[in-house]
Chain A
Amino acid sequence: MLHIKSVVKSLGNFLLGPLDLIVENEILVILGPSGSGKTTLINVISGISQLDSGEIIIGNERVSEESIENRGVSIVFQEDALFPHMTVLENIKYANSTEEDINKIVDIFGIEHILDRSVGALSGGEKNRVELARAIISMPKILLLDEPLSSLDYPVRKKLAPDLRKILKRVKIPVVYVTHDREIAWEIGDRIAIMSKGGICQIGTPEDVFKKPTTIIAAEITGESNILRMEMKEKSGNERVVGWGPYNLEIVAEQNGNEETIHVSIRPDDIILGTQGGGINWMEGEIIEKIFKGHRYAVELNIEGVEENIRVNVPLDHNEIKNLKKGREIWVHFPKKSMQIVLDN
Chain B
Amino acid sequence: MKNKISILQLLGGILVIYYIAPIFSLVFWGGNEYGRISSMGGGISSAIITSMSTSAMSVVISCMLGIPLAYFLSRDRSSLKDFVLFIVFLPLLLPPIVSGMVLLTLLGPGSIIGSLAASSGIELTQSMIGIILAQVFVISPFIVISAKVGFDSVDEKLEYASRSLGKTKIQTFWKITLPLSMKGIIAGAMLAFARAMGEFGATVMMAYYPRTMPTQIWVSFITGGIGNAFQMTMILLVSSMIVIVLIGRMGKEIGGDYASY
Contacts and interface: CB of A to CB of B under 8 A. Distances in A.
Given A69-B168, A95-B166, A138-B166, A85 B258 contact: yes
A75 B158 contact: no
Contacts of A79: 155, 157
A260 to B, nearest CB: 49
A85 B163 contact: no
B166 A69 contact: yes
A81 B162 CA distance: 9
Given A67-B163, A85-B179, A94-B162, 9 more contacts: A46-B160, A69-B164, A74-B164, A83-B161, A85-B255, A85-B257, A94-B175, A134-B165, A138-B165
Contacts of A321: none
Interface string A90-110: 000011100000000000000
Interface in B239-261: 255-258
Secondary structure dominating the interface of A = loop
Interface string B147-158: 000000001011
- Which of A83, A134, A135 has most chain B Cβ within 10 Å? A83
A51 B69 CA distance: 27
Interface residues of B, number: 21
Interface in B150-198: 155, 157-158, 160-169, 175-176, 179-180
B180 A68 contact: no
A77 B161 CA distance: 8
B255 to A, nearest CB: 7
A69 B179 contact: no
Contacts of A75: 160-161, 164
A140 B155 CA distance: 23
Q: Which of A46, A68, A140 has the most CB of B within 10 A?
A: A68
Q: Which 7 A-B pairs have the closest CB atoms?
A: A68-B163, A81-B161, A95-B165, A81-B157, A69-B163, A75-B164, A138-B165
Contacts of B255: 85
Interface in A134-149: 134-135, 138, 140
Contacts, number: 57
Interface string A55-88: 0000000000001110101110101010111000
Contacts of B157: 77, 79, 81
A81 B180 CA distance: 13
Contacts of B155: 79, 81
Interface of B: 155, 157-158, 160-169, 175-176, 179-180, 255-258
Contacts of B257: 85
B171 to A, nearest CB: 9
A216 B258 CA distance: 50
B249 to A, nearest CB: 18
A300 B75 CA distance: 53
Contact of A83 (B162, B164, B169, B256): B162
Contact of A85 (B164, B166, B167, B256): B256
Tell me which of A67, A79, A81, A95 has the highest count of chain B C-beta atoms within 10 A of its own C-beta.
Answer: A81
Contacts of A94: 162, 165, 167, 175
A154 B104 CA distance: 67
Contacts of B163: 67-69
Nearest to A138: B165
A71 B167 CA distance: 12
A134 B161 CA distance: 10
Contacts of A306: none
B162 A48 contact: no
Contact of B160 (A48, A134, A138): A48
Given A46-B160, A68-B160, A75-B161, A83 B176 contact: yes
20 contacts: A67-B163, A68-B160, A68-B163, A68-B164, A69-B163, A69-B164, A69-B166, A74-B164, A75-B160, A79-B155, A81-B155, A83-B158, A84-B180, A84-B258, A85-B255, A94-B162, A95-B165, A134-B165, A138-B165, A140-B164
B160 A96 contact: no
A46 B166 CA distance: 12
A77 B175 CA distance: 20
Interface string A115-143: 00000000000000000001100101000
A140 B161 CA distance: 12
Given A77-B157, A77-B161, A81-B157, A96 B166 contact: yes
Interface string A23-51: 00000000000000000000000101000
A271 B114 CA distance: 90
A280 to B, nearest CB: 56
